[in-house]
């Protein structure tokens, strides 16, 4: 389990050891934190038959079944093939919960993406949450910004997990990338909004240098007003495009800070030779407008599935050209 999750784990286990552990824990979590490892360890502790204080023993039959991902008393409910969690899945789960634990201990239900329950499946689950059988525990996970049905949230104990402190994240990244400079690690962590696992993937895929090359292309686009030039610099995969738009948005954000003589908190301090003259040549209103255009494109890409990605990008870049005039 990751170091930034250790404190939350200890608090959760302490609540059980002190006799006030809740039967339903809701984890509202930012992405890129590895929260699944926290939930899985809590599940292992609850299922362990030989636990010593706050740690599972890792040796008993129950722990071995967990490690082999074959524990009969651990039920996992999650979206299948990207679809919402349907009522049939919930009914099957409820039927399984009528049986006693096969290992003679606790039963744990882990719902990945509880925000993806349909209204019907939420209502079907609700009675089980309201009147849980003894020794049955629910571990519910949902993205930080998602909406969870109020009736489910009110019957759960909520744990909110944000990105860790910079010092914790940096300590971990240094062990993962011992030959990478502190400056590069700090820049990557800022660009990834302090989310360590996203930062790890970012560095492994050499996205730090790719982002610099992409923003240099943006500078040429700004000078030439050549929409095709920047359009061709975008990747094909939606996830990569969203990250590239995030780089653009951060460039505008830093330019706004430069415009207001704010020197702290830049996401791209290594690109100030381009950001400062860029900010000097546009008004604050123009910079804010450009940032809003990029943010709207990001939202549309995430929320509208039936739209053509290439047309959306071309529309975004054309609008940016208009504010450059």
DSSP conformational letter for 52 = B
pLDDT at 112 over 70: yes
pLDDT at 28 over 80: yes
- Give the closest residue to 228 by CA, choosing from 314, 169, 170, 305: 314
Q: Is the pTM of this model over 0.85?
A: no
Give the full edge-to-edge strand order of the sheet including 107-112.
74-77, 107-112, 136-143, 24-29, 157-161
Pairing of strands 157-161, 136-143: unpaired
pLDDT at 10 over 90: yes
What pLDDT shows up at residue 71? 93
pLDDT at 132: 80
Higher pLDDT, 270 or 87: 87
Please tell me the distance from the alpha carbon of residue 123 to that of residue 211, in angstroms, as a whole number.
45
Q: CA–CA separation, 75 vs 152, rounded Å?
A: 18
C-beta atoms surrounding 316 within 10 Å = 23
d(CA 138, CA 128): 10
pLDDT at residue 305 is higher than 70:
no
pLDDT digits (tens, 9 = 90+) for 263-290: 888 888 888 899 999 999 999 999 999 9
The rounded distance, in Å, linking the Cα atoms of 117 and 107 is 21
The larger pLDDT score, comparing residue 12 to residue 149, is at 12
Asked if pLDDT for residue 97 goes beyond 80, the answer is yes
Task: List beta partners, residue 2.
Answer: none
Return the structure tokens found at 9: 């784990």
Annotated domain spans of the chain: 3-162, 166-205, 206-324
Which range among 20-24, 41-45, 101-105 shows the weakest confidence by mean pLDDT?
101-105
| Mean pLDDT computed over 118-138 | 89
Give the mean model confidence (pLDDT) for residues 68-91. Answer: 91
Instruction: Report angle CA 65, 66, 67 to the nearest 5 degrees.
Output: 90
Residue 81 has pLDDT above 90, yes or no: no
Q: What percent of the chain has pLDDT over 70?
A: 98
Distance CA 117, CA 79 (A): 8
Taking the C-alpha atoms of residue 145 and residue 30, their distance in angstroms, rounded to an integer, is 8
Q: Are 99 and 91 in contact (CB under 8 A)?
A: no
Comparing 279 with 146, the larger pLDDT belongs to 279
- Mean pLDDT across the chain: 92
- Over range 189-217, report the average pLDDT: 92
Token pair listed for 11: 């608090």
Average the pLDDT over 125-152 and give the result. Answer: 89
Architecture of domain 3-162: 3-Layer(aba) Sandwich (3.40)
pLDDT the model gives residue 150:
86
How far, CA to CA in Å, does 6 sit from each of 33, 161, 218, 275, 292?
A: 12, 12, 41, 39, 37
Please write the tens of the pLDDT for every residue from 157-192. 999 999 999 999 999 999 999 999 998 999 999 889
More confident residue, 82 or 267: 267
Yes or no: say if 68 and 78 are a contact pair by the CB < 8 Å rule.
no
Q: 3-class DSSP state for residue 107?
A: strand
User: How would residue 87 be classed by pLDDT, with cut points 50, 70 and 90?
Assistant: very high
pLDDT tens track for 210-238: 999 999 999 999 999 999 999 999 998 88
Nearest to 6 by CA among 141, 142, 156, 161: 161
Q: Kindly state the tokens that stand for 34.
A: 């590895």
Q: Which has the closest alpha carbon to 229: 317, 316, 135?
A: 317
**Does residue 146 carry a pLDDT above 90?**
no
Above 80 in pLDDT, residue 103? no
Question: What CATH number does the domain located at 206-324 have?
Answer: 1.20.272.10
The yes-or-no verdict on residue 102 having pLDDT over 80 is no
């Amino acid at each position: 389990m990751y170091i930034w999750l250790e404190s939350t784990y200890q608090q959760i286990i302490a609540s059980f050891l002190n006799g006030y552990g809740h039967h339903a824990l809701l984890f509202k979590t930012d992405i890129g934190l590895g929260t699944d490892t926290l939930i899985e360890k809590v599940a292992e502790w609850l299922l362990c038959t030989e636990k010593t204080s706050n740690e599972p023993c890792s040796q008993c039959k129950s722990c071995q079944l967990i490690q082999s991902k074959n524990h009969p008393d651990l039920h996992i409910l999650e979206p299948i093939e990207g679809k919402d969690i349907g009522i049939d899945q919930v009914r099957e789960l409820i039927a399984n919960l009528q049986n006693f634990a096969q290992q003679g201990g606790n039963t744990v239900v882990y719902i990945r993406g509880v925000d993806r329950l349909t209204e019907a499946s939420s209502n079907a689950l609700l009675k089980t949450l309201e009147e849980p059988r003894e020794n049955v525990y629910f571990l519910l996970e949902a993205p930080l910004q998602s909406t969870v049905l109020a009736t489910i949230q009110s019957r759960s104990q909520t744990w909110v997990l944000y990105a860790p402190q910079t010092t914790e994240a940096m300590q971990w990244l240094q062990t993962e990338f011992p030959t990478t400079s502190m400056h590069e690690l700090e820049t990557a962590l800022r660009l990834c909004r302090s989310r360590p696992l996203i930062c790890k993937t970012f560095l492994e895929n050499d996205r730090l240098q790719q982002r610099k090359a992409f923003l240099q292309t943006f500078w040429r686009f700004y000078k030439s007003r050549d929409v095709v030039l920047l359009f061709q610099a975008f990747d094909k995969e939606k996830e990569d495009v969203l990250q590239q738009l995030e780089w653009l948005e951060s460039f505008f954000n830093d330019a706004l800070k430069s415009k207001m003589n704010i020197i702290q908190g830049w996401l791209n301090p290594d690109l100030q030779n381009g950001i400062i003259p860029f900010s000097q040549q546009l008004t604050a209103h123009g910079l804010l407008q450009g940032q809003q255009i990029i943010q709207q494109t990001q939202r549309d890409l995430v929320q509208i599935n039936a739209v053509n990605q290439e047309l959306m990008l071309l529309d975004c870049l054309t609008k940016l050209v208009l504010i450059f005039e």
